Amino acid sequence: MSKLIVKPGIFNAGRHQSPLVAVADKVVMLLAFPAVFSLVAEYGFYLSPEEVSRIQLLDLAILWVFAICGFVKLLLVVDKAEYFRSHWADVLILFLISFLLFFPQQITAFMHSIIPGVLARDIAKIYIVLTQVMLFMALVPPGIRYSQRLMSLNIQPAVLIIFSFLLFIVLGTFFLLLPRASVTGSLSLIDALFMSTSAVCVTGLAVVNPAEDLTLFGQGVIMVLIQLGGLGIMTMTTFFAYIVGSSGSGLKEYATLQTLLGEESLGKIRSTVFQVVLFAFSIELAGALLLFMRFDEFAFASVYDQLFFALFHSISAFCNAGFSLWSENLMASEVIMDMPVLTLIMVLIILGGLGFPVIANINAVVTHRLRMRFTREPSDELVVENAESIHALRQEKLRERKVRLSLHSKLVLFVSALLIILGTFGVFLLERHGVFAGMSLQWQLFYSLFHSVSARTAGFNTVDIGAFSMPALFFLALFMWVGASPGSTGGGIKTTTLALALLNIFAIVSGRNRIELFRKQVPAAAVVKAFSTVILSVFYIALALFVLLLTEPFSFRELLFEIVSAVGTVGLSTGITAGLSSAGKLVVVFSMFVGRIGLLSVMSAVIRQKSYGRYTYTEENVMI
């Protein structure tokens, strides 16, 4: 039987290591505490010049100790060629830190050469920033290793997923509570928890205005939390472990990622993770670049603010978060009439809401078709020497034919397109004489399309949602309840769940006992899960709404819209979020969390799993 082998890294020199290497390992582990303290103190608190100087000296001391420990382990490793090949990222970090420490004058001279006339104090600032960057990079490999250890524990996948989201919600709350995260420097615990949960669960509901009440540091925390929550913390961990050369992925880790990504084959998990993260980063960077170019005509204090705005909104749109750095969301005068920007945001929302299994499947199909198109087919005159060659050729052709859109992908694409079309015409018909009155037909249709896309997953808005009529709010609430597709950054009961539930109803009334789609039969277990999801969602929304009606003074329609938005992780609101009581905010926080994780996943994590014995009872009918 084959065994999973964990390769030792620079922070774990192996089983038969010398005592000196073991000491160096422990020292590096302990360095994480002062390193985190230093970074948090400098960026999270307002310090005096003397305190800043002490922190910077601490940074240099930590880097010196890290470099010494790194060189000790590097010199004592037996097979240096293998070590350099399999741990290039660790060695690169050590080299960069050493260069920063040993050659400060050369770095200063280089900065003078590329930036003529730069002041000495500016070079000192750049050098300090480089020191802090190296300090952060030194923490990455140990963090990845311990994350992988956690994922390899004998813990149920649903529990690991819940724990990972809870961990980053707590960390996000801590960072948002720091004085330099908010303008006032005194964000309450409930508000910090709410904003952190909303970002990690990619919802977009806010009790404080990110544009006005959060500093650049606080906005950066929100952006990082959106990215981690959108792609999944364990997905990101596996991706960066692959990048830095760690191969300690075990079956438990793969099983957890299989649950998170919806990948059927364990053997394809690592390649799927790589495709997902690479695709997400590529789309987000492309979106940020296009937004940056379009934002050029807007008024920004600096090119850095412009770049940050573009990156923030690209990540927020692709991850379906709905956070904006404009005080009025996309109702701001800078973008409300900018059709290219709004169209780009819509495209990012749709791509993020399709789901990673669909994205991977589409990528495989497109790659296959391109390969078949540009690969020369063997001519008819090709002489096949023996029967084995003929068989091999036929088998290859058979494998090539299997690369096609899966039933899941077809269903997601069809239902998503149908919902966008129905939503567009629904919003248009309900609000053309309402909030859209006075607009041209072109803009009425465009805003209807935008809110049809945004209402299911993201939560961006170009008009005041509170001004919508009661029928329009109920219509949007239905779309928020459905949400995005499985394996995506969005919430809701999911598009496929709605489709299977409706198709099952149609099958029952038409006298059929199974669901057939695209010449395929849907497993009965999937249909049962779809109905369970629908029932659980309706039950939870009713329960949470009842609690809010007891604790909040707002109307039934406002509270219903708010709780559906939270469970669907959408972020649209009629404007009551900031006015909720502490109890109401906690209800919404929990709703966002279970909406992102999934009600079935949460229940399976808290209820002990049981297996049936190897027997079956006789069936007896129950009247329905």
| pLDDT number for residue 134 | 66
| pLDDT number for residue 241 | 54
- The mean-pLDDT minimum among 195-199, 437-441, 521-525 falls in 521-525
| pLDDT number for residue 613 | 66
Strand partners, 520: 517
Q: What whole-number percentage of the chain has pLDDT above 70?
A: 76
| pLDDT number for residue 3 | 39
d(CA 35, CA 152): 26
Q: What is the pLDDT of residues 337-396, one digit of tens each?
A: 999 999 999 999 999 998 888 888 888 888 877 777 776 555 444 444 555 565 555 555
Q: Is a pLDDT exceeding 50 seen at residue 11?
A: no
Which positions ≥6 away from 152 have C-beta within 8 Å? Answer: 248, 249, 250, 252, 253
Question: What is the mean pLDDT of the segment spanning 211-231?
Answer: 93
| pLDDT number for residue 28 | 74
With cut-offs at 50, 70 and 90, classify the pLDDT of residue 517.
confident
Which positions ≥6 away from 56 have C-beta within 8 Å? Answer: 42, 128, 131
Question: What is the mean pLDDT of the segment spanning 509-537?
Answer: 88
| pLDDT number for residue 7 | 41
Closest CA to 229 of 181, 164, 284, 288: 164
| pLDDT number for residue 209 | 94
| pLDDT number for residue 42 | 83
Most confident range, picked from 131-140, 447-456, 506-515:
447-456
| pLDDT number for residue 381 | 46
Question: What is the mean pLDDT of the segment spanning 568-595?
Answer: 94
| pLDDT number for residue 599 | 87
Most confident range, picked from 32-36, 260-264, 307-311:
307-311
Q: What is the pLDDT of residues 173-182, one digit of tens each?
A: 999 999 999 9
623 or 593, which is more confident = 593
Q: Which stretches within 354-406 are classed as H helix?
A: 356-374, 387-401
Question: What is the mean pLDDT of the segment spanning 113-141?
Answer: 63
Question: What is the mean pLDDT of the segment spanning 284-290?
Answer: 95
Q: What is the pLDDT of residues 81-118, one digit of tens each?
A: 776 776 676 777 788 788 878 887 777 777 767 766 65
Residue 129, Cα to own-chain centre: how many angstroms?
A: 27
Q: What is the pLDDT of residues 525-564, one digit of tens each?
A: 888 989 999 999 999 999 999 999 999 999 999 999 999 9
| pLDDT number for residue 614 | 74
Q: What whole-number percentage of the chain has pLDDT above 90?
A: 39
Strand segments, DSSP code E, in 464-536 are 516-517, 520-521
194 or 393, which is more confident = 194
Q: Is a pLDDT exceeding 90 seen at residue 189?
A: yes
The answer to whether the beta carbons of residues 563 and 477 sit under 8 Å apart is no
CB atoms within 10 A of CB 83: 21
- Domains with residue ranges and CATH for the chain: 1-151 (1.20.120), 407-606 (no CATH)
Q: What is the pLDDT of residues 288-341, one digit of tens each?
A: 999 999 887 667 878 888 999 999 999 999 999 989 999 999 998 889 999 999
Question: What is the mean pLDDT of the segment spanning 16-24?
Answer: 67
Contacts 24+ apart (CB under 8 A), 127-131: 127/100, 128/56, 128/59, 130/100, 131/56, 131/59, 131/60, 131/63, 131/100
The alpha carbons of the chain give a radius of gyration, in whole angstroms, of 27
The answer to whether the beta carbons of residues 524 and 514 sit under 8 Å apart is yes
Q: What is the pLDDT of residues 420-473, one digit of tens each?
A: 999 999 999 999 999 999 899 999 999 999 999 999 888 899 999 999 999 999
Average pLDDT, the chain: 81
d(CA 2, CA 584): 53
d(CA 217, CA 136): 16
Q: What is the pLDDT of residues 112-124, one digit of tens each?
A: 677 666 555 555 6
Q: Is a pLDDT exceeding 90 seen at residue 172?
A: yes
126 or 55, which is more confident = 55
The structure's pTM equals 0.83
487 or 290, which is more confident = 290
Question: What is the mean pLDDT of the segment spanning 59-63?
Answer: 84
Q: What is the pLDDT of residues 140-165, one digit of tens each?
A: 666 665 665 655 556 677 777 788 88
Got the DSSP string for 548-591? HHHH--S-HHHHHHHHHHHHTT----SS-GGG--HHHHHHHHHH
Question: What is the mean pLDDT of the segment spanning 471-491?
Answer: 90
With cut-offs at 50, 70 and 90, classify the pLDDT of residue 136.
low
| pLDDT number for residue 406 | 87
Q: Is a pLDDT exceeding 90 seen at residue 620?
A: no
The 3-class secondary structure across 32-62, one letter per residue, is HHHHHHHHHHHHHCCCCHHHHHHHHHHHHHH
